[in-house]
Structure 1
Amino acid sequence: MNEITILMTLATVHFVALMSPGPDFALVVQNATRFGRQTGFYIALGLSFGILLHSIFSLTGVSYIVHQHPTLFAVVQIAGGSYLLYLGIGALRSVWSRWPQRHQSSDLANDPSLLLSSRRQAFSRGFTTNILNPKALVFFISLMSSLVPSAMSIPGKVAALVILWSLSLAWFSFLAWALSTKRMQRKLGSAAIYIDGLCGVLFSGIGVTIFTQVISSL
């Protein structure tokens, strides 16, 4: 395969993976629905840079070394599982505290203090969620080792990194934009508490699954 074909294949596989529901997808849905477009974009930016770093680690062999070293990989799994549990429990606690007022409308997107706080934290939350996900580490090792040959030129590898980063930013930004239009906000506003609950269950479930995998591998 020539490099153009390799890059097109890489882009296709990565884009299909991006659209699959998971922690990254859920994080954008949860935050764009509650806090609006700006927060959703910063989440998307953080996720895309996490994906870029995973891609660089995979191309340079760092991720492969971590994956092949049981102790290092266990540390990554524990850190990732803990962070997802933290997000999940936080979402569920938020649902619990808001449940008595679930039928009352609350315009979270117009709360200036909340927006400022979200703006500062959204990028790091997106980045941390992606970079600490051990499943993402394994995925990019598989993706790069199977589709990007070691003999590929430096410009080709740089193009691969740019494609992975730009596709990730474009997809998650589009998702944040689509969920934060006025029409979607009206439709999803009353369901925000249920979306938070589903995301909380998803984050917690994946976190528990990761811990189970770590324990079973000991």
Structure 2
Amino acid sequence: MTEKQREEAEWESINVLLTTHGLKPLCLVKRTDLKDLIIFDKQSSQRMRQNLTTLVEETSRQQSMIQELIETNQQLKKELQLEKCRVVDQEQRANDLEQILESVKSKVSELEDESLNRVCQQQNKIKDLQKEHTALQAKCQYYKKKRLEQEETIAFLQKDIYRLKKEEEERIVTQNRVFSYLCKRVPHTVLDRQLLCLIDYYESKIRKLHKQRYD
């Protein structure tokens, strides 16, 4: 294959690429008298200019697109870095919140234990107070009973004292009456006192006999 044939084959390959990419193919003018030259017709020349212009514009557009992609990629990298930092911050915050939560749980558990202990202590204290109240009520009933018994004893003693007082008054009146009857005067000497005692003795004997008789 000659150099010219190889170049023509390359142009045919380029035509395939142009057609594949939506561009118009070029038409070669095949002349045997021009061995070292490849000639395009006027229409192909125009197509070549259009294709070159399109390629340049497409290249420029692709360069712009590539630049945009690069900038977008850099922006995405920055956003990704920011997102990573945000994720790290959120993880740190989550760890801090978890530690706070654990601390709160521990504090709540401690408060629950303290509250339970306090309730148990209060219940025990209430039981002790109830026992003490029951004991005090029993003592109160006991002392009330004793007070009633003492009041009854006092009333009995008061009656007995009143009876003895009346008996003493009657005894003195009787002594004086008997003495006056016997001696015709009021007692005032020691002998008179002895006589009164003797009278009292016999009076008590008489009362005793009188009581035994009616009993």
TM-score tier by shorter-chain length is: under 0.3
Report which of the two structures shows the higher radius of gyration computed on alpha carbons: 2
Greater relative CO, 1 or 2 (CA 8 Å, sep 6+): 1
The two structures have a TM-score, normalised by structure 1, of 0.21
The two structures have a TM-score, normalised by structure 2, of 0.21
